[in-house]
Structure 1
Amino acid sequence: MQKQHLEQIKNGKGFIAALDQSGGSTPKALAGYGVTEDQYSTEAEMFDLVHEMRTRIITAPAFDSEKILGAILFEQTMDREIEGKYTAAYLAEEKGIVPFLKVDKGLADLSNGVQKMKPIHDLDETLERANQRGIFGTKMRSVIKEANEAGIKEVVDQQFEIGKKIINAGLVPIIEPEVDINSSDKAQSEEILKQEIKKHLDQLNENELVMLKLSIPTNANHYKELIEHPQVVRVVALSGGYSREEANEKLKDNEGLIASFSRALSADLNVNQTDEEFNTTLKEAVDSIYDASVNKN
C-alpha cells in the first residue's frame, strides 16, 4: 500500500486537503463552520462536533480521489471511525485518498523571529499507532515571522531531525516551515529558508524521502529547485490566511506546486446548510483548488 500511495502522491493530479486543526484551533474551526462555543460545554463534546464536521466533509461526493490526492488528519480523527472504519482506512479504501497525520504538539514561544515546535514526547508511540492505522505520512508545522538566519536555521534543523525519525518509522514526513504571509521581509525569509532546506535535502540518502509544505512564495517559482530535488516526493502549499481566490491565483503562478489548503477549503461550509447546499459548496471549493493546482499560468 505504501508503494501505491507513494506513486499517487508523487505523480497524481490533484491536491492535499488539510483537515488537521486541533487543540486551540478547534473552537475557531468550529466557529467558522457555524458551531459557537455555547453549543458545547466540554472538550469531549467539542471533539465530537469537529469529528461530525470532518465526517461530513470526507463522506461528501466531491471528496474523492478524482481531485484529492491526500488528506491530513488530526490524531483524534485518526483514532475515530467513519462508517465503521478507522478514518485512514475509510479514506484509503472507500475514497482512494492517501492519509497523513499531524504529529506536532503546537508552537513554542517566539524566539529569534521564529516559532519552533514544542517537544513531541510521544512521537515513537504515535508513529507506531500511525503505522497500525495505515497512515502514509506525517505533517508538522513551525512558523517563521522574520528573516532571522539563526532562527530559520533552528526551525529547519528541528524539522529535519524529527523528519529523520519519521522516515526511520517507515513514513514520509511533510516538513512545514511556514513563512508568515504578513511578514515584512517574507521574500528574504524565503530565500534563507530555501538554502537551509536544500542543505538538508542534499544530505539525505537515496531512500530517505520527504515532502515540503511551504507558504506560496512572494516570487513565483522560487521553490522550483526544491520541487525538482530527487529526495522530495512533492511540494505542497498552505493558504496561510489568504482567501481561497487569492491563494488559488498565487498558486497558479508556481509550476509544480500543488495546494494543501485548510481554511481555504472549508471556509464557506456551514453546519446549517442542507446536504445539497453543503455538497455543492464543497464541490465548488474542491474544483477551484484542483484547477489552481494542475492548471498553471
Structure 2
Amino acid sequence: MNEKVLNETALAMVAAGKGILAADESTGTIQKRFESIKVENTEPHRQAYRDMLFTTPGFEQYTSGVILFEETLFQKGLDGTPFAKLLADKGVLPGIKVDKGAKDLPGAPGETITEGLDGLRERLVKYREAGARFAKWRAVITIGNGIPSDYCIHTNAHALARYAAYCQEAGIVPIVEPEVLMDADNSIAVCEDVTNRTLAAVFQELDKQKVLLEGMILKPNMVIAGKKCAVQADRNAVAVATLRTLKRHVPGAVPGIAFLSGGQSDVDATAHLDIMNKLGPNPWKLTFSYGRALQAAALKAWGGQNVDAGKKAHLHRAHMNGLAALGKWDAALEKAA
C-alpha cells in the first residue's frame, strides 16, 4: 500500500471548489431514469448519455472525479476514446462502483446487506488497469418500525471496512458510503440518532481493519427528516445537525466528506452544502458526490436528442455545487440562470 499516493489521490478528489459526479447507475436504475424521458434503455443510449455528460465543456472546473458503472469504465466515447482516458485527459479522476447492490439481510425483515466482496480483490486489479483511481461501495440503512437493528448496522459497517481495505491494497482510494435513507416519515432527530450509530460503527470497523483514514473519502447522508415527515427542518437546521454528527464521529485525518444527495431537490442539496461550508472552518473538506442532484436537469434537457441543452444544464448544476463547496453559492444565481 502506497500511503502517499492514496493520500494525494484522496486530496485531489476533494480539491477546493470541486466535487464528484456519481454516474454509476446500474442498468436497472438508469432504465428508470430513461423511462422518465421516454428513451429506450440500450447500450448505445447509455453510451450517448454519458458521453454528453463527460464531454460537457468546462465541467472539469467543478468536477474532480466521476464514479462509473463497470460497463462505462470499459466503454468508449462517441469519438472512440475510452471514457477513462477521456476523463483523465481533462484532469478528472475515473472511479468505479464495485458493490453488487443491497440484498435482503437474513433474519432481519426490511433490512439489507450490500454484496460484492467475493472476487473483489481480483476485480480491483482489473479496474485499476483500466484507469480507475478510486472506488465506491454503498451500504443502505433503512429507518422504520424497530429498525435499523444493530445487527444491520454492524454487518454493513464490517463489509464497508473490508471493501476499503481491499481497495487500498490495490492502490485505489475507497469512497465509504453508509447511506441512512430519507424515505420514511421519521423526524430529523431520528435521522441524527441513526446516523450517529452508523458512523460510530463504521469508523470502529475501519480502525479494526487497518484502513488508512488519510487515504479514503466518506460519502454520508445529510441529517434530514424523512420525506414523509410532516415537519421538515429548515436548511440551517439540517446543516447544523449534520455538522454536529460528523464532528462527533469522523476523525480529522479523513481528507474529505463528499455528501450524497439522497433524494433532496437539486437546490436543497446545493444550499445545504453551502451553509455547512459557510459555518466552517471544518476539520475536513466538505463537497458533493451527487448523482440525481447533478444529473436530473441534464437528463430532462437532453431528452435523448438535445445534447447542447443537456450539457448546458449539467454545467450549471456542476457550477452551483462547485460554489457551494466553497461556501460561495447564492440562491440568486439559480434565478439568474
Q: TM-score, normalised by structure 2?
A: 0.77
Letter in 1 for 2:103: A
Q: Partner residue of 1:247?
A: 269
Take 2:257 and 2:110, find their aligned partners in 1: how far apart are those partners?
A: 24
* Partner of residue 274 from structure 1, selected from 298, 303, 306: 306
Take 1:167 and 1:87, find their aligned partners in 2: how far apart are those partners?
A: 23
Tell me how far 1:55 sits from its aligned partner: 0.5
* Partner of residue 212 from structure 1, selected from 212, 218, 232: 218
* Partner of residue 195 from structure 2, selected from 190, 196, 208: 190
Take 1:120 and 1:49, find their aligned partners in 2: how far apart are those partners?
A: 30
Q: Partner residue of 2:177?
A: 176
* Partner of residue 76 from structure 1, selected from 71, 79, 86: 71
Look up the SS of the partner of 2:59 in the other structure.
Answer: coil
Task: Deviation per CA, 1:127-171: give whole Å up to 9, x if none.
Answer: 111111121110011110134222111111111012211111111
Take 1:244 and 1:135, find their aligned partners in 2: how far apart are those partners?
A: 28
Letter in 2 for 1:263: R
Q: Partner residue of 2:132?
A: 135
Deviates more, 1:234-243 or 1:269-278: 269-278
- The answer as to whether partners of 1:113 and 1:151 remain within 8 angstroms in 2 is no
Take 1:10 and 1:266, find their aligned partners in 2: how far apart are those partners?
A: 20
Quickly say closer, same or farther: Cα 1:187–1:92, change in 2 above 3 A: same
Look up the SS of the partner of 2:22 in the other structure.
Answer: strand
Deviates more, 1:9-18 or 1:150-159: 9-18
Task: Deviation per CA, 1:247-278: give whole Å up to 9, x if none.
Answer: 11222233432111111111112225634322
1:235 equivalent in alignment to 2:218: no
Look up the SS of the partner of 2:258 in the other structure.
Answer: strand
Tell me how far 1:31 sits from its aligned partner: 2.5
- The answer as to whether partners of 2:274 and 2:325 remain within 8 angstroms in 1 is yes
Take 1:49 and 1:2, find their aligned partners in 2: how far apart are those partners?
A: 36
Letter in 2 for 1:62: G
Tell me how far 1:226 sits from its aligned partner: 5.2
Take 1:258 and 1:166, find their aligned partners in 2: how far apart are those partners?
A: 22
Task: Deviation per CA, 1:51-76: give whole Å up to 9, x if none.
Answer: 11000110011321x11111100000
Letter in 1 for 2:252: H
Structure 2: tracts of 5 or more residues without a match: 225-240, 278-284, 330-337
Q: Partner residue of 2:152?
A: 151
Quickly say closer, same or farther: Cα 1:7–1:104, change in 2 above 3 A: same
User: How many residue pairs get matched?
Assistant: 286
| Identity among equivalent pairs (%) | 25
Deviates more, 1:152-161 or 1:81-90: 81-90
1:103 equivalent in alignment to 2:103: no
Q: Partner residue of 2:334?
A: none
Letter in 2 for 1:123: L
Letter in 2 for 1:163: A
* Partner of residue 290 from structure 1, selected from 322, 326, 330: 322
Tell me how far 1:90 sits from its aligned partner: 1.2
Letter in 1 for 2:199: K
Aligned-residue RMSD, C-alpha: 2.4
Letter in 1 for 2:193: Q
- The answer as to whether partners of 1:13 and 1:69 remain within 8 angstroms in 2 is no
- The answer as to whether partners of 1:16 and 1:68 remain within 8 angstroms in 2 is yes
Give the alignment of 1:31-110 within 5 angstroms: 31-32=35-36, 34-36=37-39, 39=40, 46-64=42-60, 66-82=61-77, 83-93=79-89, 95-109=90-104
Task: Deviation per CA, 1:15-56: give whole Å up to 9, x if none.
Answer: 100000013202012234x243xx46xxxxx22211110001
- The answer as to whether partners of 1:242 and 1:264 remain within 8 angstroms in 2 is yes
Q: TM-score, normalised by structure 1?
A: 0.87
Q: Partner residue of 2:25?
A: 21
Look up the SS of the partner of 2:179 in the other structure.
Answer: strand
Take 1:272 and 1:205, find their aligned partners in 2: how far apart are those partners?
A: 42
Take 2:247 and 2:155, find their aligned partners in 1: how far apart are those partners?
A: 23
Look up the SS of the partner of 1:81 in the other structure.
Answer: coil
- The answer as to whether partners of 2:11 and 2:255 remain within 8 angstroms in 1 is no
Quickly say closer, same or farther: Cα 1:73–1:267, change in 2 above 3 A: same
- The answer as to whether partners of 1:62 and 1:282 remain within 8 angstroms in 2 is no
